[in-house]
Structure 1
Amino acid sequence: MPQFKYEGRDMKGRWQRGTIASESKRDAVLKLRQKGIKVIEIAEAPQALLNKEITFGKAVKLQDFVIYLRQFATLIRAGVSIVDSTRILVSQTESKALQKALIDIEESLRSGNPLSVSAAKHPRVFPSLFVNMVKAGEASGSMDETLERLADHFEKMHRTRQKIVSALAYPIAVAVMAVAVVTFLLVAVVPTFVEMFADFHAELPAITKFVLQASEVMQTYWWLVVIAFIAIYVLFSLMKKQKKIKYYLDYAAMRIPIFGKLVQKAALARMARTLSSLFSSYVPILQALSIVENVVENEVIAKVMKQARDALERGQSLAEPMRRHWAFPPLVTQMIAIGEETGSLDAMLAKVADFYEAEVDAGTDRLKSLIEPLMIVLLAGLVGTIATSITVPMYDVFNHIQQ
């Protein structure tokens, strides 16, 4: 939000100066008048780099957002107004970004704006799914039910994401440990044997030559290795922001052996859960499909959602584009087709989401039990290779001396 520097006098004639956050200069002046300050000069303050709020990824953790929704729904059900509920929740949340957004939303609500409009001003905090479902809740007068439904949706999404993260956490941790151990051995341990091997004046095994060369490279060009890792990370982050490139990344992720099925099921569960929540809140179907296209976080699924929306606009079935795409199993398309015929699309999609969320749970458990021994074998193999490259020449020399 813009910051405005002001100078003026309070009701006792004392000179006041400072900064105030506001959407516009006019709003800033009105806020200062409410505080009893007569503005003499006001201008937008340039935001220095050090004063800017720097965030990486999502502004608010999903867990904090779920807690906020639960508390909000409870307050509304207890008969507390939306404005007062927002004021109360400002002091309840532990997320600074959410707290800052709620302060601004409270001011917007007191100015007469609806919650959906106020929340839409903070897209990094409140996703389009929240804004549109709240808008539907405002129209139907069932705000408490809408907030409960949103809390259920984000809670299940958080649980599914945590399952996937926990499945990947172990192999990533072991991989980092393996890199750290191998780096330590190559930089600190292997060099101590270089002079000893040089004094042998004997032909070293190929594995020993390879490890010694790797050690030399690591000692000389370690900074290049660090830069390469950083460059790969930055490049990958930039590529994910390009829709066309992200489509191929998502395609590859869904096709990769072992992990691909898990990624596919998680994306389908997210798609089905989001559509079900939107339909249950009476959001128009075309608008719901547009929202899913933007929030599903998988460009392969998003492309099919766009094709499904185009098919509906032409008067065709929602399930038809999905039926033609490899990413959508028969279970999904058949359940959606039945939902279209019976008018219970939200219930059918909820069942699809439940099924695939359970599949993700079971899949992550199986994956963890499979990966753990493989990663241990990998770590042992790397360390064993370095140890073998050092001990084999020493045994050869010892045997030579004995003879």
Structure 2
Amino acid sequence: MWDKILHRFLTHLIRQGRLTVTYPDGTNHSYGGIEPGPEATISLHDPTLPRRIVMSPDLAVGEAYVDGRLSIENDDLYAFLGVAIGNVAAQGQPWFRRPLEAARHLGRWAAQFNPASRARANVAHHYDLSGALYDLFLDTDRQYSCAYFSEPGMSLEEAQEAKKHHIAAKLLLRPGMRVLDIGCGWGGMGLTLARDYGAEVLGVTLSQEQYRIANDRARAEGLADRARFELMDYRALTGQFDRIVSVGMFEHVGVPHYREYFDKVRARLAPRGIALIHTIGRARPPGSTSPWIAKYIFPGGYVPALSEMTRAVENAGLMPTDVEIWRLHYAETLRHWHDRFMANVDAARALYDEQFCRMWRYYLIASELTFRLNRQVVFQMQLSPVQDAVPLTRDYLYQGSQTRRQAAE
């Protein structure tokens, strides 16, 4: 029965490209071919897989690929996920899956309830993995967020530097300004603002590993007097700051806490201060997190719609002074990460095991193709309590980068 339901599901779904499936009983079916697109051939080796895929495609397919119950001809994960993600984006779910998707959407409030204790555990799940793992695929500054490919042919290191300086330009920094970095990662952004712009930086993180490394880096660079990093929840902060920056952290806040987050930003921001929030976003209505991503990669995480963010911003009494949408920059970033990871996959296998490597590769490719094919972008939202805190045109954002290019020449 479930083979037939999956057959109907795939008949509805696959139009672009072609997907050939060998079912557990040995029968073969080919789907799609109506519109051009990638082609992939898969085999299902577990008789329970058709039911699992119908009930929760993201979770079932991801788990089955990782543990080998689903195999792909030539292990062409790009082609298979290109067919799957591209068609989901174009066709949507068939009618019989819509109640399941609606229930998942309704349940997201419970899944994303992130009090401090739960937020700490969620962060540890991902960011307290071996530091050696991140050295295998990130740039030398360990920027684990979208790079900014402002010019063709940029290396990953160059694009990550461009990202940090583009954000710094939006903060309109002056030496001596107090800057709060919410979700400071391994310290790269905070150290850049302290070293290159003379800021006094406080970074906060819930990751033990990031806290230790960020402070070690500050001491090694002689910046400990201007950049310090604390192991604490942003909700426990007091005082006010001239500037607030948050890069790649808002995805972990959770929808039930959006108003609380922006209320805290407003409370911590000086009367004429500026905040810059950089987050992955969805260029479509609110939804829910992939069950596979929530279980294995980012528990408690959620990619917001712009409408969800702006409602919380408005209620917090903050003025949006600039909203910028980055398209495909994260897809390029993830491609760099994937290629670096695969170049070092033997080292990753020595750190963990083969299943971990398959999981990480699946995560990187699925994420890249979601940005390429499924209306996922990056939002940079500049905020202030007042509307004249920044210049009236965007020219100021590019004067600094032009000066830096001239100096490099």
TM-score of the aligned structures, taking structure 2 as reference length: 0.22
Q: Greater CA radius of gyration, 1 or 2?
A: 1
State the structure with bigger RCO (CA 8 A, min sep 6), 1 or 2.
2
Structure whose residues are more often strand by fraction: 2
TM-score of the aligned structures, taking structure 1 as reference length: 0.23
Structure whose residues are more often helix by fraction: 1
